[in-house]
Amino acid sequence: MTEPAPAVSRTTTTTASARGSAVRYRFARLGDRFIAFALDIALLFGLFAIVDAWAFMRWGAFDAAELQLTIASLVIAVTLNSAILFLYGWLMEAACGATLGKVLVGIRVVRTTQRGALAACALRNLLRIVDGLAFYLVGTAVAACSEGRQRIGDICARTAVIEETFGIAARVSAIVLWIVTLAGAGWAVPRICSTNNPGHTGYLSQVVVRIGTTGRSAYFRVGGFTLDLHS
């Protein structure tokens, strides 16, 4: 994994090679980082769908034409989705320096100190909890004011995101994996939803979301709020 020296300007950082020549890096633009993150979410959508379907059918309930989501089902789904996102970002960045979304955009994560890749990438991904507050407004504000365009996770982990050129093979592989994941979700989700074997818990069993159909309309209810869709 490339380890550039401390930043010397807002857009570039320089490190000396063994021969004394300078290698320059351009810090990734914030727009490119947002696009990469959105692509990662799209790439993980199939896994999220499988996990959510399992959690909703296992800890929720399906009664006639209504899906009932309990607090337990929502908590478990959010927890598993968050774990998948963390493990994906942590392991991909530690092993390859980039997630699939970053590969497609052309950016990568580098370390600015001798801290190990696993520790650095784990910390920067764990701190998405803080950076992601207010729809990533916190992380965006910090990165915009940072000399190296580093969000809180990057500052604490001593990492930076730079521009990088990946080969066509890497980009094609990312697209293929996305297609395979979505195809797998398309196959698995209907089969998961066809089995209604709810697990009952003594707590967090209150139904908070109801989704169903009545006649020629569909509805979505959360507490006292109801959204009706008429065909």
Within-domain flag for 206: no
> What's the pLDDT band for 199 if we cut at 50, 70, 90?
low
Give me the mean pLDDT over the 121-142 stretch.
96
Within-domain flag for 88: yes
Q: What integer pLDDT is reported at residue 38 of this predicted model?
A: 96
The DSSP secondary structure of 132-156, one letter per residue, reads THHHHHHHHHHHHHSTT---HHHHH
Tokens matching residue 226: 């109801």
Residue 98 reports pLDDT greater than 60: yes
Closest by CA to 96, choosing from 75, 117, 115, 76, is 117
More confident residue, 15 or 43: 43
Average pLDDT over all residues of the chain = 87
Within-domain flag for 32: yes
pTM of the model: 0.85
Give me the mean pLDDT over the 116-129 stretch.
97
Domain span at residue 139? 12-60+73-199
Within-domain flag for 125: yes
Q: What integer pLDDT is reported at residue 203 of this predicted model?
A: 74
Residue 63 reports pLDDT greater than 80: no
- How many structural domains is the chain composed of? 1
Within-domain flag for 100: yes
Give me the mean pLDDT over the 190-219 stretch.
83
Within-domain flag for 218: no
Within-domain flag for 144: yes
> What's the pLDDT band for 5 if we cut at 50, 70, 90?
very low
Q: List, in sequence order, every residue forming a beta bridge with 25; answer none if it has no partner.
A: 13
Give me the mean pLDDT over the 207-227 stretch.
89
Residue 207 reports pLDDT greater than 70: yes
CB-side neighbour CA atoms (13 Å) of 3 = 11
Q: What integer pLDDT is reported at residue 143 of this predicted model?
A: 97
Within-domain flag for 213: no
Closest by CA to 51, choosing from 179, 201, 181, 176, is 181
- CA distances to 37, 87, 94, 153 from 41, rounded to whole Å, are 6, 13, 19, 19
Residue 60 reports pLDDT greater than 70: yes
